[in-house]
Amino acid sequence: MEVLNAVEFKLQETPELKSETVEEVNENISIAREIQKQDVEETVEGSPKLKKGVAKDRRISIEDPQMRHGRKNKHLKINGYKPHVLTDLDSGLVRAVGVTPANVPEATVTDDIEADLAAQSVTLKELHIDRSLLLPQAVLI
């Protein structure tokens, strides 16, 4: 908390900086404050401590604003993105690939995968989802 305040103060005390630099620093401070707000709280004594639990739609990366924290189940955590690979079980050919943030349901990639299959003039006959760590497999006709 104090470090971000010190950076903001230094920024104000350095008028010779280019406006682009000031904008970039302010954007990064904003991101750091967002992450701080979701992950850190003050104790009664005023010292910082990590919050228990996970904030809804928790941002986990400073560089990538869409990267998220998610759970597959009680024991499997996913940080970043989930891969979705549609493989034709008969031929072994990978027909479609999708990527979603870790905190969104697998079904959100369905429309994109259907569009990929339609572009290939392929119809889905069966879909076997989550057969091996988030990798959908299919029987195509």
CATH code of the domain covering residue 82: 3.10.20
Q: Could you list the pLDDT tens digit for every one of the 141 residues in the chain?
A: 688 888 888 888 888 888 888 888 899 899 989 888 888 888 899 888 888 877 778 888 888 989 988 877 788 888 899 888 888 888 888 989 888 998 888 888 888 888 898 999 988 777 776 654 444 555 554
The pLDDT score that the predictor gives to residue 91 is 87
* pTM for the full predicted model: 0.63
Residue 68 CB: number of other CB atoms within 10 A? 22
> How far is the CA of 14 from the CAs of 5, 22, 50, 101, in angstroms?
14, 10, 32, 38
Residues 35 and 67: beta-carbon distance below 8 Å: no
Exposed/middle/buried for 6, CB within 10 Å: 0-12, 13-18, 19+? Answer: exposed
Does residue 56 form part of some domain?
no
In this structure, the answer to whether residues 72 and 136 fall within a common structural domain is yes
Specify the number of domains making up the chain.
2
Does residue 96 form part of some domain?
yes
The token pair that represents 68 in the structure block: 């998220």
Q: Which domain holds residue 114?
A: 68-140
Does residue 58 form part of some domain?
no
Does residue 94 form part of some domain?
yes
In this structure, the answer to whether residues 44 and 76 fall within a common structural domain is no
Residues 49 and 41: beta-carbon distance below 8 Å: yes
